[in-house]
Homo-oligomer: A and B are copies of this chain.
C-alpha cells in the first residue's frame, strides 16, 4: 500500500505517475509486462480511479506505457539510457552495451567576453573573449540533453566555423593541434527543469534534469573546454568510469 501526500504542492496524479515510473524501472511488473488494472492501482494508492487515470495519461504521453481499451495498460519503455562519463569522455564515441549513436545540433554560437565563472574555469583573464556554443543533443534518436560550452576565444577564434566543417569536437581540437584531451572534473546536481530545458528537450513541467558542469583539459593540464549540460533525468543515467573498468 503506497503513500501519496496531499497538500504537498504536487498533485496526486503526478505523485502516482512518479511512483509507477519508478516501480517499472525497478522491474516490479516484469511478469506480464503490464500494469495492474485501474481499480487495483486506485486501491493501492488510496485514491479515486479517475486520479489513477490521470497518472496513466501522463505516462502515456511520455511514452512509458500504452493503453488498450478492454485489455489493459502495457509497459513500453523500461530503462534509462546509460551515458558514460570518464577521463576520456567523448560525446561522439559509442560504447558497447550502452548508449547508441549520438548527434549534436548547434542552436547558436557567439564570441563574447567571458563571464566570471567561465574565465575562472578556463583559467583566462577576466573578460577575455570566449567562444560559446549552444547545442541540443540526441542519442538513439531521442532528445537527451542540451549543453552550453565555452572555449578560449584567442586560442580557438574560428571554433564555430570549424564546427560546421568537422562535426565533432575531437576533430576540431585535432585541427588545432590538440591530439588528446581529458576530463578533469565533473560536478553533478539535479533540479526541476528550467523553461529552456523543458522546451529544448520537449519535457513536461515538473520534469527533472541532471545538470553537469565539466572541465576538459589538454595533455599539459591547460583547460580547453568548460561546459554546462542538462540531461532529461527520466531518459538518462550517468555512468562514471573511475579508471579501471570492471563492470559488465
Interfacial residues, chain A to chain B (CB-CB below 8 A): 2-5, 8-11, 13-15, 17-19, 22, 58, 80, 82, 85-87, 120, 182-192, 194-195, 204-206, 208-210, 215, 217, 221, 223, 233, 236-248
Q: Is B22 touching A14 in the complex (CB atoms < 8 A)? A: no
Given contacts A3-B195, A19-B194, whether A246 and B217 have CB atoms under 8 Å apart is yes
Q: List 5 A-B contacts (CB under 8 A).
A: A19-B194, A185-B245, A188-B210, A188-B238, A215-B246
Q: Is B215 touching A244 in the complex (CB atoms < 8 A)? A: no
The A contact surface, by secondary structure, is mixed
| CB-nearest residue of chain B to A12 | B9
Given contacts A195-B2, A205-B8, whether A243 and B246 have CB atoms under 8 Å apart is no
Q: Is A187 touching B238 in the complex (CB atoms < 8 A)? A: yes
| CB-nearest residue of chain B to A80 | B189
Chain B residues contacting A4 (CB-CB under 8 Å) are 205
| CB-nearest residue of chain B to A211 | B237
A62 vs chain B, min Cβ distance (A): 12
Chain B residues contacting A187 (CB-CB under 8 Å) are 82, 237-240
